[in-house]
Amino acid sequence: TGPAENHVFQTETRQLLDIVAHALYTDRHIFVRELISNSSDALEKLRHMQTTGEPVEDPDRPLEISISTDEEAGTVTISDSGVGMSREELMENIGTIAHSGSKAFVKQAREAGSKDVGANLIGQFGVGFYSAFMVAEEITVYSKSARPDAPGHVWRSKGEGEYSLARADGLKRGTTIVLKLRSNAKDFSRTKTVEDVVKRHSNFVGFPILVGGEQVNTVGAIWAEPKHLVTEEQYLGFFRFKTGQQYSSPLMRLHFAADAPLELRALFFVPELNEEGFGLGRAKPGVDLYSRKVLIEAESGVMPEWLRFLKGVVDSEDIPLNISRESMQDTALMLRIKSVLTRRVLRFLESELRRDRALYSKFFAEFGTYLKEGVCSDAPYQPDIARLMLFESSALPAGELTTLDEYISRCPPGQERLYYIVAPHRGLAEASPYMEAFKGAGAGGRDVEVLYAYSSIDDFVFQQLGQYNGRSVVTAEASDLGLSPPKPADKKADGSKADGDSSKDSAASSSSPALSPEQVAELGEWLSSEALSGRVKVVRASDRLRSTPAVVVDHESASVRRMMKMLDAHKR
Ligand code: ADP
Ligand code: MG
């Protein structure tokens, strides 16, 4: 063993360590899951090297994770026969925050400015290797890279700003991590405690985990099993393992196998909650890509972006193991896999929509924005995604939702457009002057159904959609609504009303039923050339209003303003 050199941690790492070390965190056992997951990653990488024919040190050494405890010494040791780390890799991977979750964590904790908040967030993010400092007063990492003849090293730190690094001889391929437990965490030096934690949280790791020499996990690629052989408990366990959310259950599940046109096994879950809803920014893709149970890419790009809320696994024998991760995105094969999966998921969601509307509504409330993103970004599937959207409607009681197809089925013959209005909530939609043209079952009314959309992105979504099933989708704020004249009424209601027509932001004019066509023309002239000069393009009488004197129409900028406001809020 060579002389030890001292190094200081990068600033961000020090901040993270400080939060972790002082966290009063009840779920401290997550460090076990984190270290095992790193070992599993390292083993996956080794298996990948082997399957692609790269030479590795000690090729016959079994691929496994082994944990031992020493109550007397107050230590727990986690060891794997994975890829290991070179000196540079130790400095880079463990001396700096590589883990993107950790970065986000530090940012959040710093913004929250409180260590308590930081502590609660640890469980959510899983701060990786550093979580071990919740229980350890000193950590020693022995590692030897799998590259043949690479030297071994020992890394050691008390988690207080510095670490030491030295050559170490006599190591085997892989990594061994020794935690010297804090006095209040000595429980983890008992085999039983560790065994329980492993069974509960790491049961589905794809390599044997030995605790005190005995294998404790069920190694299982359950996605590759036929559905009828997988129990509900296994699914739930796998979901929790995959998401790291120990207390939640999936909202929906899709497990399927296909043989044509491609060989595919997939297991997808829709989680309970939208993680982007916590303000942690854009979620990473949630689907890992395997080929014959060998991990090709975790958090892969195999699904379209807008389906990033799905968690799960795709396994295809058709993917060559040595496919380069960079080129993978563009290959014809990957595009074919993506399209098969996308179509399957769309079909699944549609069947869920029909099977259980209450459940689907819950799904849509949580993940509808992703579908809307798909409508705007995934042109080939636009109509298929659009049919999955739900809205409230003027024809339905509050709380009841409709699809676009159901809306169409209620349309009287001759109605060729779909109408919508965007408002912050139902009350405002109903009270909007733009709704007057559509209201009223009786005389002078039209009684045309309008979809109520409450999200600021909905204008944009409908504009992108443009038309659905051959019918154009039109905002209630448009100048040309294409409505048939109102039902005939008593003379009184038959007067002309005016509306402004402008391509730029504008306001407009009014008239009373008593006005003659000449008076209307005069009023319009006065409004457009004097009162609102330069602010409106045209002032026109129309039959769209019933009690409001005037409205502005075609003010594109209103929807643009809403978009800008939303983007602004997003940036903050
Ligand atoms: P993450 O696993 O998300 O990358 P971690 O903080 O858990 O973040 O680990 C940081 C990095 O340290 C890993 O990406 C990996 O490169 C390296 N590492 C950690 N544990 C091991 C291990 N047992 N074997 C090999 N490399 C490891
Ligand atoms: Mg990790």
128 lines ligand 1 (CB under 6 A): yes
**63-67, 298-302, 366-370, 446-450: lowest mean pLDDT where?**
298-302
Please, which residues have CB within 8 angstroms of residue 314's CB and are 6 or more apart in sequence?
A: 264, 265, 266, 287, 288, 289, 290, 300, 302, 303, 337, 341
| Token pair 């009488």: residue | 541
Q: What is the pLDDT of residue 514?
A: 66
Atom 2, ligand 1: which residue's CA is nearest?
38
Q: Are 149 and 195 in contact (CB under 8 A)?
A: no
DSSP string, 341-352: HHHHHHHHHHHH
- Residues 57, 60, 65: CA angle, nearest 5 degrees: 90
Q: What is the pLDDT of residue 36?
A: 92
Distance 13 CA to ligand 2 centre (A): 15
Ligand 1: which of 9, 67, 129 to mutate, judged by most atoms within 8 Å of the beta carbon?
129
- Residues 47, 97, 281: CA angle, nearest 5 degrees: 95
pLDDT (mean) for 39-61 = 92
Greater model confidence, 476 or 501: 476
| Model confidence pLDDT, tens digit, residues 203-259 | 778 899 999 999 998 767 899 999 999 999 999 989 988 887 878 999 999 999 998
Q: Are 559 and 434 in contact (CB under 8 A)?
A: no
Which atom of ligand 1 is found nearest the CA of 89?
16
Distance 35 CA to ligand 2 centre (A): 7
| Model confidence pLDDT, tens digit, residues 168-215 | 999 999 999 999 999 999 999 999 999 999 987 787 788 999 999 999
Q: How sure is the predictor about 500, in pLDDT bands with cuts at 50, 70 and 90? A: low
pLDDT (mean) for 77-83 = 98
Ligand 1: which of 40, 41, 145 to mutate, judged by most atoms within 8 Å of the beta carbon?
41
422 lines ligand 1 (CB under 6 A): no
Q: How sure is the predictor about 509, in pLDDT bands with cuts at 50, 70 and 90? A: very low
Q: How sure is the predictor about 434, in pLDDT bands with cuts at 50, 70 and 90? A: very high
pLDDT at 39 over 50: yes
Q: Are 269 and 253 in contact (CB under 8 A)?
A: yes
pLDDT (mean) for 12-26 = 75
The interface pTM score, or ipTM, of the predicted complex is: 0.99
Structure tokens given for 519: 């008076």
Q: Are 337 and 262 in contact (CB under 8 A)?
A: yes
Q: Are 235 and 222 in contact (CB under 8 A)?
A: yes
pLDDT (mean) for 82-106 = 79
Q: How sure is the predictor about 537, in pLDDT bands with cuts at 50, 70 and 90? A: confident
Please, which residues have CB within 8 angstroms of residue 58's CB and are 6 or more apart in sequence?
A: 81, 172, 173
| Model confidence pLDDT, tens digit, residues 458-472 | 999 999 999 999 999
Distance 274 CA to ligand 1 centre (A): 27
Q: How sure is the predictor about 100, in pLDDT bands with cuts at 50, 70 and 90? A: low
pLDDT at 443 over 80: no
34 lines ligand 1 (CB under 6 A): yes
27/164 Cα distance (integer angstroms): 29
Residues placed in the known binding site for ATP: 34, 38, 80, 85, 93, 100-101, 124-129, 175, 325
82 lines ligand 1 (CB under 6 A): yes
Q: How sure is the predictor about 123, in pLDDT bands with cuts at 50, 70 and 90? A: low
What are the φ/ψ torsions at residue 393 (nearest 5 degrees)?
Answer: -150, 155
209/196 Cα distance (integer angstroms): 12
Q: Are 318 and 333 in contact (CB under 8 A)?
A: yes
Which atom of ligand 1 is found nearest the CA of 78?
23
Burial class (CB in 10 A: 0-12, 13-18, 19+), 335: exposed
**137-141, 449-453, 494-498: lowest mean pLDDT where?**
494-498
pLDDT (mean) for 518-529 = 88
Q: How sure is the predictor about 431, in pLDDT bands with cuts at 50, 70 and 90? A: very high
44 lines ligand 1 (CB under 6 A): no
42 lines ligand 1 (CB under 6 A): yes
Q: What is the pLDDT of residue 264?
A: 94
